[in-house]
């Protein structure tokens, strides 16, 4: 079992969600976040004054997947989130030791 975390441009999250749903993956957690990466070093202008801001708005999508779905999921997320310009975000994968479905007590693959 793996946790796939994707941080993407705000206007791309719906396409990522649709790509996941096309793979039959219905479960995900979506949050609005701020972050910094290679896209750092923005200047924002407010009332004529310039400010350096380090954080830019992103959307984070987290999905639990079976190991054998992993490649398809990562490929689909990356394809859906890409614009080719800086700031497209990142996708990373972390191993998961245990998953429990709260309602039934089912564990691991059965709970995904």
Residue partners of 91: CB distance under 8 A and separation at least 6: 4, 5, 6, 7, 74, 77, 78, 81
State which residue, 45 or 102, has the beta carbon closest to another protein: 45
| Least gap, CB of 33 to another protein (angstroms) | 9
| Least gap, CB of 67 to another protein (angstroms) | 32
CA–CA distance, 16 with 112 (Å, rounded to integer)? 19
State which residue, 29 or 54, has the beta carbon closest to another protein: 54
| Least gap, CB of 61 to another protein (angstroms) | 15
List residues near another protein by CB under 8 A.
Answer: 9-12, 14, 34, 39, 41-46, 50-51, 53-57, 83, 85-87
CA–CA distance, 58 with 88 (Å, rounded to integer)? 9
State which residue, 65 or 81, has the beta carbon closest to another protein: 81
Residue partners of 47: CB distance under 8 A and separation at least 6: none
């Amino acid at each position: 079992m793996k946790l796939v975390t994707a941080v993407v441009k705000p206007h791309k999250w719906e396409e990522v969600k649709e790509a996941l749903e096309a793979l039959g993956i219905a479960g995900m957690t979506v949050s609005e976040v701020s972050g910094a990466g290679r896209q750092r070093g923005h200047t924002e202008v407010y009332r004529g004054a310039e400010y350096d801001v380090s954080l830019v708005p992103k959307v984070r999508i987290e999905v639990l997947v079976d190991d054998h779905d992993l490649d398809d999921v990562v490929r689909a997320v990356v394809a859906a989130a890409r614009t080719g310009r800086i700031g497209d975000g990142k996708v990373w994968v972390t191993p998961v030791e245990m998953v429990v479905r709260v309602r039934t007590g089912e564990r691991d693959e059965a709970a995904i």
